[in-house]
């Protein structure tokens, strides 16, 4: 856990070996806009998508426009996608049968979900509003969590004006994406171990984003 101040914390967790998931195709999954962010949400998600496509450790990223084109042409698949996303965000569980269908249609063995939730604080919280932003990488066929960055922020009163609200959402979302980019890497000792393998089975550095 990284402590960023009295009102903000970041948690990072993931599998101990990320090498098998480097440079794999990824489908970017987004939720509906949280309250009061409807006007800036499409632009914000577009910026996140651009950042993801710049990450050397991710493979081809299927963005929300390309994803929606495929879903719009298949109403049954779109319904399944909504059910999958609802179950995933509410329970944290990846429904495998739906995930397999989405994996096939989106040509992506990995899903990357940006989840942004706004809700009231507990009694102990000095603010009456807090945000939780998660960027989580999930293996489609197994439902396993590969890597996740989670940021929790308790809003001050001066952060609740319309302009400050929008700016803060963009700033914190960018922070989550940056933390993901810095953490979803192959450590040098893992690369050294890979380099000691016979050349016939060794992964190239370019194949793992370094």
Domain ranges of the chain: 2-14+22-208
CA 159 – CA 173 distance, rounded (Å): 15
At residue 159, does pLDDT exceed 90? no
What is the structure's pLDDT at 205? 52
Interval 2-25 mean pLDDT: 81
Any idea which of 13-17, 110-114, 146-150, 157-161 has the lowest mean pLDDT? 157-161
> Please, are residues 117 and 138 in contact by the beta-carbon 8 Å criterion?
no
What is the structure's pLDDT at 123? 63
Please choose, from the candidates 54, 80, 50, the residue with its C-alpha nearest in 3D space to the C-alpha of residue 64. 50
At residue 189, does pLDDT exceed 60? no
Percent of the chain surpassing pLDDT 90? 60
- 78 or 164, higher pLDDT: 78
2-14+22-208, what's its fold?
A: Double Stranded RNA Binding Domain (3.30.160)
Q: Which long-range contacts (CB under 8 A, 24 or more apart) does 121-124 make?
A: 121/154
What is the structure's pLDDT at 103? 95
Interval 55-59 mean pLDDT: 94
Query: Could you read off the pLDDT of 67-125 as tens digits, one per residue?
Result: 999 999 999 999 999 999 999 999 988 899 999 999 999 999 999 999 999 887 666 66
Interval 112-139 mean pLDDT: 84
- 44 or 188, higher pLDDT: 44
Please choose, from the candidates 160, 188, 145, 119, the residue with its C-alpha nearest in 3D space to the C-alpha of residue 12. 145
Interval 163-192 mean pLDDT: 84
> Please, are residues 110 and 139 in contact by the beta-carbon 8 Å criterion?
yes
What is the structure's pLDDT at 6? 45
Q: Is 43 exposed, middle or buried (0-12, 13-18, 19+ CB in 10 A)?
A: exposed
- 5 or 31, higher pLDDT: 31
pTM, full prediction: 0.84
What is the structure's pLDDT at 196? 53
Give the three-class secondary structure for 107.
coil
What is the structure's pLDDT at 206? 54
């Amino acid at each position: 856990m990284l402590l960023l101040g009295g009102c903000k914390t970041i948690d990072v967790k993931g599998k101990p070996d990320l090498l098998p998931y480097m440079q794999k195709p990824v489908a970017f999954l987004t939720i509906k806009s949280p309250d009061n962010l409807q006007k800036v949400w499409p632009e914000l998600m577009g910026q996140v998508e651009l950042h993801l496509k710049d990450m050397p450790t991710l493979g081809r990223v299927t963005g929300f426009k390309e994803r929606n084109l495929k879903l719009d042409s298949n109403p049954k698949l779109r319904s399944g996608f909504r059910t999958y996303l609802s179950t995933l965000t509410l329970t944290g569980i990846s429904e495998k049968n739906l995930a397999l269908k989405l994996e096939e249609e989106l040509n992506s063995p990995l899903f990357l979900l940006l989840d942004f939730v706004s809700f009231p604080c507990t009694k102990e919280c000095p603010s009456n509003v807090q945000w939780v932003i998660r960027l989580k990488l999930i293996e489609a066929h197994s439902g396993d969590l590969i890597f996740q960055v989670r940021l929790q922020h308790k809003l001050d009163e001066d952060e609740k004006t319309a302009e400050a609200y929008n700016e803060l959402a963009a700033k914190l979302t960018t922070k989550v994406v940056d933390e993901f980019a810095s953490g979803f890497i192959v450590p040098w000792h893992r690369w050294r171990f890979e380099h000691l393998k016979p050349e016939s089975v060794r992964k190239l550095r370019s194949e793992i984003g370094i």
